[in-house]
């Protein structure tokens, strides 16, 4: 029976081998990457909250933003068309009321949806986008008003020329209104789904596992369906060796331990 000291040595060796091998879970890979460099991966925008939590926001590029704006423009156009058809029957009074509604819809459509619907107009919601402050907090009235009132500057000299150039030049794809308001258009993250583990009889680990070791085991169990058989066997052997699990039983026993760590579902 191996001694406790032997178990500890094996755990340290196993931790080093797991962290030096390709990560078994996206979250682990991200943690390691973020600790190795201060710059976010790809075009992600890193924000640190007052509580010290790092948020990774994915800024939306020119094309999805343009498509979202086109959807909103079509919705406004359809609403205004229906209103003017109805109000046209009221004569001069209807035309005057229509002019007021035209102003309100053109200038307040974006603001009301952004503030009251978590930064999402119908077009942005369709494209999976939302507007937030630069620090990741929900957009407020002042910021939304500023970014939308400055659309007339982005329109200059014609067809959103300045806005398009600003989006293409800025690393976070900001137009001039976003720069003035301190806002950012980002992709909405899909709600996390509970990971599915293979069906197996729960089994306790032979000794207490650290948090990183538990994450490695759960990551293997969750992602093994995405791995080829040789790669799955290789990773299972790495994880099973310090647990004194025979290689031929590695996958089955690791799945049982992972199921035990997850608890009842």
How do residues 148-202 score in pLDDT, each as one tens digit? 999 989 999 988 999 999 999 998 999 999 999 999 999 987 776 666 777 788 8
Rounded CA-CA distance 200/259 in Å is 7
- pTM for the predicted model, two decimal places: 0.61
pLDDT score, position 9: 56
Helix 161-169 / helix 62-87 crossing angle, nearest 10 deg:
150
pLDDT band at 5 (very low <50, low <70, confident <90, very high): very low
pLDDT score, position 173: 92
Rounded CA-CA distance 192/237 in Å is 29
209 in Cβ contact with 236 (< 8 Å): no
The neighbouring-strand residues paired with 56 are 46
pLDDT band at 146 (very low <50, low <70, confident <90, very high): very high
Q: Is the pLDDT score of 56 beyond 90?
A: no
Q: 134 — phi, psi (to 5°)?
A: -60, -25
Rounded CA-CA distance 90/40 in Å is 58
C-alpha pair distances (Å), 84 with each of 74, 88, 99, 103, 104: 15, 6, 9, 13, 14
pLDDT band at 82 (very low <50, low <70, confident <90, very high): very high
Ordered alpha helix ranges (H), the chain: 4-20, 26-36, 62-87, 91-116, 122-127, 141-149, 151-154, 161-169, 176-181, 211-223, 229-240, 250-262
> Which tokens go with 243?
């647990």
Rounded CA-CA distance 139/34 in Å is 27
Question: Percent of the chain at pLDDT above 90?
Answer: 37
Q: In the chain, what are the domain boundaries?
A: 4-35+194-262, 62-187
C-alpha pair distances (Å), 201 with each of 33, 144, 263: 34, 54, 11
Burial of residue 36, with CB atoms counted within 10 A of its CB: 0-12 exposed, 13-18 middle, 19 or more buried: exposed
Q: Is the dihedral of CA 209, 215, 216, 222 positive or negative?
A: positive
pLDDT band at 26 (very low <50, low <70, confident <90, very high): very low
């Amino acid at each position: 029976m191996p001694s406790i000291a032997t178990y500890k040595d094996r755990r340290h060796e196993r931790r080093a081998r797991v962290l030096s091998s390709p990560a078994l879970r996206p979250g682990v890979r991200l943690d390691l990457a973020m600790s190795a460099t201060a710059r976010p991966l790809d075009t992600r925008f890193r924000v640190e909250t007052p509580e010290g939590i790092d948020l990774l926001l994915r800024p939306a590029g020119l094309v999805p933003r343009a498509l979202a704006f086109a959807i909103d423009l079509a919705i406004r156009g359809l609403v205004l068309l229906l209103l003017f058809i109805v109000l046209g029957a009221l004569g001069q009074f209807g035309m005057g009321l229509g002019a007021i509604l035209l102003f309100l819809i053109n200038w307040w459509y974006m603001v009301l949806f952004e503030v009251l619907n978590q930064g999402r107009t119908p077009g942005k919601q369709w494209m999976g986008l939302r507007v937030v402050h630069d620090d990741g907090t929900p957009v407020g009235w002042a910021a939304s008003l500023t970014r939308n009132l400055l659309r007339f500057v982005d329109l200059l000299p014609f067809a959103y020329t300045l806005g398009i150039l600003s989006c293409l030049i800025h690393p976070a794809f900001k137009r001039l209104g976003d720069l003035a308001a301190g806002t950012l258009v980002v992709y909405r993250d899909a709600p996390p789904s509970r990971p599915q583990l293979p069906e197996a009889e729960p089994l306790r680990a032979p000794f207490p596992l650290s948090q990183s070791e538990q994450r490695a085991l759960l990551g293997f169990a969750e992602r093994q369906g995405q791995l080829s058989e040789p790669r799955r066997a290789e990773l299972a052997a790495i994880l099973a060796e310090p647990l004194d699990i025979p290689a031929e039983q590695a996958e089955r026993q690791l799945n049982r331990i992972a199921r035990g760590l997850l608890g009842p579902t």
